[in-house]
Structure 1
């Protein structure tokens, strides 16, 4: 399983992904799910992947190969003129890989499926975030939908819905994502640390903050313990339920 989140802030973007891949409780591995391409002064692109590992690795490998062998008639993501065009290229590559992996009549709900988040900025355009489906089509984040999740989304979503603010600082955004990931990790063994984090400031056209949070990170431990304690305290402050009101 996987959990990846991209937050769209007014002043930039924050990406976070776990690194656990499992095919049963006795076959657990660590694989990177966040990838980036930076051309300082021109563009910064971040991709996060969820789904079949063979599919997602093939997509990233093809994108890398096409960066090295790009031509005007077959541009790569480093030649695309907008983030929309980057999303189109990534979507086409994903659809191509799924078709190549499959037998005739391959469908997107098969074992070869994958979902991808693509975010970043190209000089002359705004910072943008897209979620790409196995069919190759995609949707874009907006003021109404300011973040995307892929993988195991349900456990970490409530805190994002309640606490996200497009004006929040990068520091608070990372803290919010850590709470979301902690809730997911506590509920699902298929998601775990280390966590990869990437912070992009709008119009910087480069990334100054990219790091990994390891399993023994003291700040993550403080967030996990503090959030659990805060929930118990908040629960204790809620009005008591009175069963006598429902007595015969």
Structure 2
């Protein structure tokens, strides 16, 4: 399983993804699920994947090949698309292409085996930062004021804190703290999601990659957040008025 989140702030975009993949309790591996491309001063693009690993790796490989100067020039490149909308369209078409190739002639039932979902965000010069959620069918939706963040993978455990606490005006520091709480809640509830976590913070109009780091299992700040959030929940629970049985 996977857990990835993309946040759209007034000050930019924040991305976080876990790195655990599993094909059963005895076959657990670590694979990167966050990928980036940039042309400094012109565009910065970040992509996160969830779903069948063979599918997502094939999508990333095709996008990389088509982005090379001497790559597959018969197909458009995400480094040449004129807008983030066109980048999202290109990524969706590539995802659909890979799923169709892998599923062969077996129809929709086979396609489900190779399903994948993608969060795509970034900025191209002359336009604001944009964030998209791309479905296996290749279609996509864009983040808005009403829906300012996207999750993919194991979303249910980390969603409540995002819904209650996210504010597009919050600082990058608070956004990262919020994501760590969301990921900690998911990790505590589901063994198929775990550290290391990959983080990318993109500042609006910088048109280059921002802070990119990997949060390891022994990260002191994450451990403080994990323990502090647990203690804060216990305190909040104990501070609520007790239930009264009436006769």
TM-score scaled by structure 1? 0.96
Residue 51 of structure 2 is matched in structure 1 by 51
Residue 207 of structure 2 is matched in structure 1 by 205
Q: Deviations over 1:221-248 (max 9, x none)?
A: 00000000000000001010011x1x3x
Deviation at 1:27, TM superposition (A): 0.3
SS in 1 for 2:76: coil
Distance 1:224 1:157 in 2: 16
SS in 2 for 1:8: strand
Distance 2:106 2:88 in 1: 25
Deviation at 1:106, TM superposition (A): 3.0
Any residues of structure 2 matched to 1:34-113 within 5 Å, and which? Answer: 34-68=34-68, 69=71, 71=73, 74-107=75-108, 110-113=112-115
Residue 241 of structure 2 is matched in structure 1 by 239
Residue 222 of structure 1 is matched in structure 2 by 224
Distance 2:75 2:66 in 1: 8
Deviation at 1:105, TM superposition (A): 4.4
Distance 1:125 1:106 in 2: 39
Q: Deviations over 1:72-114 (max 9, x none)?
A: x632000000000000000000000000001314328611000
Distance 1:117 1:70 in 2: 24
Q: Does 1:157 align with 2:156?
A: no
Distance 1:49 1:150 in 2: 8
Distance 1:26 1:56 in 2: 22
Query: 4+ runs of 1 displaced by more than 3 Å?
Result: none
- RMSD over aligned CA atoms reads 1.1
Distance 1:176 1:38 in 2: 26
SS in 1 for 2:227: helix
Residue 191 of structure 1 is matched in structure 2 by 193
SS in 2 for 1:207: coil
Distance 1:15 1:9 in 2: 11
Gaps in structure 2 of 5+ consecutive residues: none
Q: Does 1:178 align with 2:180?
A: yes
Any residues of structure 2 matched to 1:129-168 within 5 Å, and which? Answer: 129-168=131-170
Distance 1:155 1:44 in 2: 30
Which shows bigger deviation, 96-105 or 125-134? 96-105
Distance 2:75 2:58 in 1: 18
Deviation at 1:219, TM superposition (A): 0.5
